[in-house]
Amino acid sequence: MKLLKPVVCAVGLAFSGIVSAGPILIINGADQTSEVHTTAAVTNNLTFLHEAVGNTVTVSNHLLADLSGYAQVWDVRFFNGAALDAGSFNTYQNYLSNGGGLFLMGENSGFMARNNSILSLIDLLGGGSVGFQGNCQSNQVVHAPFDGPNAVSQVSYNAAGCFDGTGAGQWITSTANGAQGSGLAFSVGTLANAMAGSLTTILDVNFMMNQFDLPNSQELTKNLITYVGDQTEPTPVPAPASFLLLAAGLLGLRLSRKTA
């Protein structure tokens, strides 16, 4: 029996896993765009990567009125018909104020209605005044923490737009001199009017299709998923069944010490 008790302890500790998966909403506007292939590729790839890490995914054509059931919202619409309006601003501000994690897709200068609405939302949320920069450089540096856990140091966008600064946020990707970049992140505590939430945005849709600049673009997408998850999920706790296993393990360790 002296051998059994340490084994029980080991089993209890080995299965004290954590619950980290969450419900994800992907908004793709599939019924609003003529770029069906692009939208389908992004939706399929993003769904696959989320499910690979244990997240449950719901896909919607439109922004829902109630986002409270979702830990993260990935709004991958990029076309001008999906420009955010006052109602969208209110919905997203409430969502972020309650601790949600939001990703917004933008694009190059041909999609300025959508891009300008993203810039306006950043300003409304208290992320600072950020503008759009034309003639964006395709090859960009990937900044920490977005360069891990899947190693990627640079990415080459297919046809991206650029922000002209970070405001209260930080670069996801930027030119080598940091003067402009296609990706911005606002971590929890940096949006003055939605302190509990986090916002990430990239002005290029093609990088998420799993078709361009591989494997760099795919590693960046995976790292974005990790980042948004880390920002929105509470401190992981052992699953209920694991509590019992952990308790059994600790009891076994205590008994084994007494009888040793």
Distance CA 163, CA 241 (A): 47
Asked if 146 contacts 182 with a C-beta cutoff of 8 angstroms, the reply is no
Asked if 140 contacts 155 with a C-beta cutoff of 8 angstroms, the reply is yes
Number of CB atoms found within 10 A of residue 200's CB: 21
* DSSP conformation class of 65: S
Residues 58-68: tens digit of each pLDDT: 999 999 999 99
Distance CA 241, CA 218 (A): 35
**Percent with pLDDT over 70 in the chain:** 81
CATH code of 97's domain: 3.40.50.880
Q: What's the predicted TM-score (pTM) here?
A: 0.83
Number of CB atoms found within 10 A of residue 173's CB: 26
The pair of three-digit structure tokens given for residue 3, joined into one six-digit string: 């051998």
Q: What is the pLDDT of residue 255?
A: 46
Cis peptide upstream of residue 145 (ω within 30 degrees of 0) = yes
Q: Is the pLDDT confidence value at 9 over 60? A: no
* DSSP conformation class of 207: G
Number of domains in the chain: 1
Residues 165-178: tens digit of each pLDDT: 999 999 999 999 99
Domain that holds residue 34: 4-12+21-259
Residues 180-202: tens digit of each pLDDT: 999 999 999 999 999 999 999 99
Let me know if 60 is exposed, middle or buried by CB neighbors in 10 A (0-12, 13-18, 19+).
Answer: middle
